[in-house]
Structure 1
Amino acid sequence: MPSPAETLRALLAQDMLHVMPCCYDALSARLIEQAGFDLTFMSGFATSASRIGQPDLGLMSYSEVLDQARNITESLAIPLIADGDTGYGNAMNVRRTVAGFARAGAAAVMIEDQVAPKRCGHTPGKAVVGREEAFDRIRAAVDARQEGADILILARTDARHEHGLSEAIDRARKFKELGADILFVEAPKTVAEMQEICRELPGAKMANIVEGGETPDLSHKDLQEIGYAIAAYPLTLMASAMKAMVKTLEQLKTDNDRTPDLMDFKELRQRIGFEDYYDVSARYETSKRS
């Protein structure tokens, strides 16, 4: 069986756009896999909201994020890209972060150039570290990979916000020279900027589509024609789930139509894995066969 990293490399070798809904826990990841998608990403925004009920402002620790990633990788077969934030410290912390996510079964880990504590890429107040510190983070990530961590490096820059698109492209180009596998220039504001990113940068590029965010929400066809290899949708599932839960709670409170649009209990059990569990456990029920 190929490793998660090998599977992701094979996907990226295909000349196509990979649509990537983002998960936040093992159940959302399993639903993504059941829907037939080839890969997923553990959204920092959604994971922070789900795990600790707090905004994505650097509040979760490395160990909390790693634990969540491990829970997810143990529940699915498709590759998971993990959110390593800023690496949780200096270059040595970045090395530990990358190695830890590799051991947890992640196919790739994202390392970014924001100052700590980082912020969601589509919210105010973002700032990035200087060039050399940003480059050291990617150097350290690549070193960890070269020293045995079976994992890809997704290098992200948020420099567009403070310093303009040219600086963001320059940083991303250097990230690629240092050995990053996937490049992610966060929050371009126009189609023209997205086109420039894909025209100027080599290798696989990722677009981050936040509904209501700063980046144009283009069709899959348009994203592929521009030149992106991955289209990430970090909040689509969580926003959908939260809207449904709020609506259901409001109706439950009034005692009117208390079960609107609920998944059938049989399908719910099947998707969670009850039937698989029963099938496997039946092999060991020797008392029923005696």
Structure 2
Amino acid sequence: MTPPNRLRALLAQDKLHVMPCCFDALSARMIQQSGFGLTFMSGFATSAARIGAPDLGLMSYGEVLDSARNITEAVSIPLIADGDTGYGNAMNVRRTVRGFARAGCAAVMIEDQLAPKRCGHTPGKAVVGRDEAFDRIRAAVDARADDDILILARTDARHEYGLGEAIDRAAKFHELGADILFVEAPATLVEMRQICADLPGPKMANIVEGGETPDPGHAELSDIGYSIAAYPLTLMAAAMQAMATTLQALAKDTPRDPHLMEFTELRRRIGFDAYYETSAAYDSSRRSS
């Protein structure tokens, strides 16, 4: 089954899919090893991990595509890629979508922010006009005709123009052919319920610890009507906190974190054991003995 069809099969299930977000091949592999059925390449986290800079449009299309390709080669679960604003006009959007499809992504997110985009839970973001926003999604859907991939259409209009405008834009995205809808940064559970009640098809919630959107439990997110709950910064925040704590211990020459992963487990998760097992089949000296 192709990655897009794997994702379609998941979305056809009447359940909430919890989606920890990755930022590189290793974090994606650990998500898969932990039993999660899909992941999303967080632009915020990937920018931090790859170039050590904030998610403010600093990474190029080529850098993001390269990161996505590294992830799809490391895992078999569906990956949703962050295509930002499409990196230009409608023709750039088409190229962006086709590039992510050919890199093995199951879906790509295209949003209506004004470039350079910003994290949806940080100040200063703005959206393009309706016509340009709709042209981006129209171009993304047209590109899907050549290379199969799902389109996750995102709007950040709630911040600048209110929830009504955001819902209207998302409804039009669905009409144009978007497969999954994402209204960013609702401020209350009431708003989250309105989004799911008013919009057709699968919807994604974006849960940022300390962000603008409420963080209810999985059962409540499912009851509200979401198909996917994305956690874009959970793994990166945990990893950064662990690294900061360990670095402080090293600097002070105090005992390091007792929760450090054992070396044998570290090797196994990275793939050393699997590598040695497979490579043994090509060791003629061992076969002859």
Q: Which TM class, normalised by the smaller chain length?
A: over 0.9
1:249 to partner: Cα distance: 0.4
Cross-structure match for 2:27: 28
- Residue 245 of structure 2 aligns with an amino acid whose one-letter code is K
Percent same amino acid among aligned pairs? Answer: 77
Per the alignment, residue 136 of structure 2 pairs with 137
Secondary structure of 1:224's aligned partner? helix
Contact kept, 8 Å, 1:17 with 1:229, in 2: the verdict is yes
Q: Is the 8 A contact 2:80 2:109 kept in 1?
A: yes
Aligned to 2:280, the other structure's residue is in SS state helix
For each residue in 1:142-201, what CA deviation from the matched residue of structure 2 results, as whole angstroms up to 9, or x when unmatched?
A: 00002x211000000000000000000000000000000000000000000000000000
Match of 1:78 in 2: 77
**For residue 253 of structure 1, what is the aligned residue in structure 2?**
251
**Shift of the alpha carbon at 1:259?**
4.9
How far apart in 2 are the matches of 1:257 and 1:124?
39
Identify the residue that residue 16 of structure 1 maps to in structure 2. Answer: 15
In structure 2, stretches of 5+ residues that fail to align are none
Question: Alpha-carbon deviation of 1:258?
Answer: 3.0
User: What SS is found at the alignment partner of 2:18?
Assistant: strand
RMSD between aligned residues: 0.6
Counterpart mapping for 1:150-165 below 5 A: 150-165=148-163
Q: Which amino acid in 1 is paired with 2:155?
A: T
Report if aligned partners of 1:73, 1:80 keep a CA contact under 8 Å in 2.
yes
1:61 aligns with 2:41: no
Whole-Å separation in 2 of the counterparts to 1:191 and 1:264: 41
Q: Distance in 2 between matches of 1:50 and 1:260?
A: 25
Residue in structure 2 matched with residue 179 of structure 1 by the alignment: 177
Q: Provide Cα deviations, 1:121-157, integer angstroms capped at 9, x if missing partner.
A: 00000100000000000000000002x2110000000
Cα deviation code 1:99-126 (max 9, x no counterpart): 0000000000000000000000000001
Report how far residue 256 of structure 1 moved: 1.3
Q: How does 1:1-290 map to 2 (within 5 A)?
A: 2-146=1-145, 148-290=146-288
Does the residue aligned with 1:74 lie in a helix, a strand or coil? helix
**How many pairs align?**
288
SS of match in other structure, 1:204? coil
User: Structure 1-normalised TM-score?
Assistant: 0.98
Which runs of 5 or more structure 1 residues have no equivalent in the other structure?
A: none
**1:31-58 deviation line (CA, Å, top 9, x unaligned):** 0000000000000000000000000000
